[in-house]
C-alpha cells in the first residue's frame, strides 16, 4: 500500500510514484491519496492508477444538540461485547471489520486513548446496542475532536441509535472543551451521510484509493 500524505506537491508525488514504479515495474499496487486535489489526481491517473474508493472527512462545529441517549464509559470488562458488536456492525468494512481482541488491546494502549470518551449504550437487559468511540487530536491547534468509530448492532437498527450515539460522542467532545469535530465516512454510505448531514456535518476533504494492476 502506497500512501500520499497531506503535505506534498503534485511534482513530489509524481517523482515518488515514478521512482517506486521503476523499482517495481510489473507489481500491482494500491495507492491512497490523502486530501485529494486535482493536480495530484492527474498524476495518479497518468501513471495508470484507477480510483475505486472515496473516504470523506466531514466536520461540524461544537456544541451540537445534546443527546438524550444514556451512555456509559468503556471498561475492560466490555472488550468481548464490543468486539462482537463491532464485527457484526462492520462485517462489510475493509478495515474496521474482523477486529480481534489483540488488535483492540493495542489501540487501547495508545497514548491518546481515553476510556471516558469511549461511550457505550446498553438496553435494559444490559445488552450492548451500540457505541461511539471518540478521539482528541491534541497535535492540532486548536485541538480537534473525532468520532473515531461509531457502530450499532444490526439487531437494533431502525431505532435512531446512529444519530443518538453520534450526538452523545459530540456532546462528550464539547464537554471536553473542543469547538470542532470530524469523522471519516465512506462516500457511498448514503444512510450514514444522511444522518451526519442532518446533524450539521459538512464535507471537508476527500481521501481516494486507487489500484494499478500492471
pLDDT at 125: 97
pLDDT band at 183 (very low <50, low <70, confident <90, very high): very high
Domain that includes residue 122, residue range = 60-204
Residues 121 and 37 in one domain: no
Query: Is 120 among the domain residues?
Result: yes
Residues 138 and 200 in one domain: yes
Residues 81 and 154 in one domain: yes
Dist CA 180 CA 177 (whole Å): 10
Instruction: Report residue 142 CA to chain centroid gap.
Output: 20
Q: What is the mean pLDDT of the chain?
A: 95
63-104: pLDDT as tens digits: 999 999 999 999 999 999 999 999 999 988 877 888 999 999
Residues 106 and 8 in one domain: no
Closest CA to 123 of 155, 91, 167: 155
**3-class secondary-structure state, position 4:** strand
pLDDT at 94: 77
**Strand 2-4 relative to strand 29-33: parallel, antiparallel, unpaired?**
parallel
CATH number at residue 77: 3.40.630.30
Task: Count the domains in the chain.
Answer: 2
User: For the whole model, what pTM was predicted?
Assistant: 0.91
What's the Rg (C-alpha) of the chain?
A: 19
What separation in angstroms does the CA of 97 have from each of 1, 83, 90, 91, 100? 18, 10, 5, 5, 9
135-151: pLDDT as tens digits: 999 999 999 999 999 99
pLDDT at 84: 97
Say what angle helices 79-89 and 101-108 make with each other, to 10 degrees: 110
Amino acid at each position: 500500500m502506497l500512501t500520499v500524505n497531506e503535505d506534498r506537491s503534485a511534482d513530489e508525488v509524481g517523482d515518488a510514484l515514478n521512482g517506486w514504479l521503476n523499482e517495481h515495474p510489473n507489481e500491482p499496487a494500491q495507492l491512497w491519496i490523502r486530501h485529494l486535489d486535482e493536480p495530484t489526481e492527474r498524476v495518479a491517473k497518468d501513471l495508470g492508477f484507477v480510483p475505486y474508493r472515496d473516504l470523506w472527512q466531514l466536520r461540524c462545529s461544537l456544541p451540537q444538540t445534546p443527546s438524550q441517549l444514556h451512555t456509559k464509559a468503556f471498561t475492560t470488562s466490555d472488550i468481548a461485547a464490543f468486539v462482537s458488536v463491532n464485527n457484526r456492525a462492520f462485517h462489510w468494512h475493509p478495515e474496521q471489520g474482523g477486529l480481534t481482541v489483540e488488535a483492540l488491546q493495542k489501540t487501547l494502549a495508545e497514548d491518546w486513548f481515553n476510556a471516558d470518551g469511549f461511550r457505550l449504550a446498553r438496553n435494559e437487559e444490559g445488552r450492548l446496542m451500540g457505541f461511539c468511540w471518540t478521539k482528541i487530536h491534541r497535535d492540532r491547534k486548536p485541538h480537534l475532536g473525532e468520532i473515531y468509530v461509531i457502530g450499532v448492532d444490526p439487531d437494533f437498527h431502525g431505532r435512531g441509535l446512529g444519530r443518538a450515539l453520534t450526538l452523545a460522542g459530540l456532546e462528550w467532545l464539547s464537554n471536553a472543551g473542543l469547538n470542532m469535530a470530524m469523522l471519516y465516512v465512506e462516500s457511498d454510505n448514503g444512510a450514514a451521510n444522511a444522518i451526519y448531514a442532518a446533524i450539521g456535518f459538512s464535507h471537508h476533504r476527500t481521501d481516494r484509493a486507487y489500484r494499478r494492476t500492471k
